[in-house]
Amino acid sequence: MLPLPVLEEIQEELLNYRGSGMCVMEMSHRSKVFQTIIDEAEADLRSLMGIPENYKVLFVQGGATLQFAMIPINLMKFGVADYIVTGAWSEKAYKEATKFGEIKRLASSKDKNYTYIPDVSDLPVSDNADYVYICENETIHGTTYQRLPNTKGKVLVSDQSSMFLSKPCTVSDYGLIYGGVQKNVGPAGLAIVIIREDLIYPDVDSRTPIYLRFDTYSANESMYNTPNCWAIYVCGKVFKFLHNIGGLAEMQKINEEKATILYEFLDNSKMFTGTVAKEDRSVMNVPFVTESKELDAEVVAASKAAGFDNLKGHRSVGGLRASIYNAMPKEGVEALVAFLKDFEENYGK
């Protein structure tokens, strides 16, 4: 979802953005009008997150999946990286990285179907690792890190796609943060990369396509060619919206209130059970199950009939999953819980 006030403002500007006579989708990315849009978006994001001056903000096409390759291509000076695998997305990132260097699976929760975050306080980090990689919130499996791993001085890289801007973030704890924006911030087709300047190496493999180099984006302020102008514009609107509600601390408070409503129901239900260890539960993605796949399917069918979309769990894990991203109102979660309670109370009658 996107915040309703954002959608309404976009609607008002759709045919004529601020007197330009054009929709943002029609204007040149080299125009002064769009330059103002991207400059404001970056400034608002920096303010929201408290991004230090020695970090670059890059707007990169291709979504989060492209970063699975761009990160090892650009960051592996010694050809070594450590990955903590806690679900489907960190697993995919790990497999992609193996094409480009020596990649170590530092820790994993695969033994329990990725239902928890492993102990990351004292891991055998490689002495020559260029970075340690995590997916900080696993969208499909519904786990999140409550504390960051001890990387023993190595650069921490985090995929924050499904938790981006859901709570305050100390950017200086990371070397690189990235997120595909379509979960929490804007339309698909864009990733935001926040990278410490000293990690933008100019001496990557000369065969690397110029559009896959972080230094290309940095040197050209994300405007080497036509960027995803529409997504950047919408993200900028969302950044302002977050400022207007009180910033990321207020967003975190709202998100925790929403998640508590749903988790309290699941913890007291006799039909529905949360699948994630309580201490590692995501505030954004809540997977749960019934006693059987058949009953899961009945719940999904009933939810669609009742007007709820996308309650079916990801095809790779099954079950049910409620994604309650930033823009999902508290009333939406309350309505879902009311539906689930009613289904449980009346099933089989």
Task: Given the residues 56, 82, 89, 237, select the one marked as catalytic.
Answer: 89
Tell me the three state secondary structure of residue 140.
coil
End-to-end CA distance of the chain: 35
Name the DSSP class of 18. G
Query: Among all chains, which residue has been given the structure tokens 């209130």?
Result: 257
Task: Given the residues 44, 82, 130, 159, select the one marked as catalytic.
Answer: 159
> Tokens standing for 183?
């979960």
Annotation marks residue 183 as catalytic:
yes
Annotation marks residue 159 as catalytic:
yes
Task: Given the residues 56, 154, 183, 237, select the one marked as catalytic.
Answer: 183
Annotation marks residue 89 as catalytic:
yes
**CB-based contacts of 1-8 (< 8 A; 24+ apart in sequence):** 1/325, 1/327, 1/328, 2/186, 2/234, 2/238, 2/327, 3/238, 3/241, 3/326, 3/327, 4/327, 5/241, 6/234, 6/237, 6/238, 6/241
Write phi, then psi, for 7 (nearest 5 degrees): -60, -40
Burial 123-153 (b: 16+ CB within 10 A, else e): bebbeebbbbbbbbbbbbbbbbbeeebebee
- Bridge partners of residue 143, in order along the sequence: 138, 281
- Bridge partners of residue 193, in order along the sequence: 58, 178
Amino acid, single-letter form, for residue 175: G
Enumerate the active-site residues. 89, 159, 183
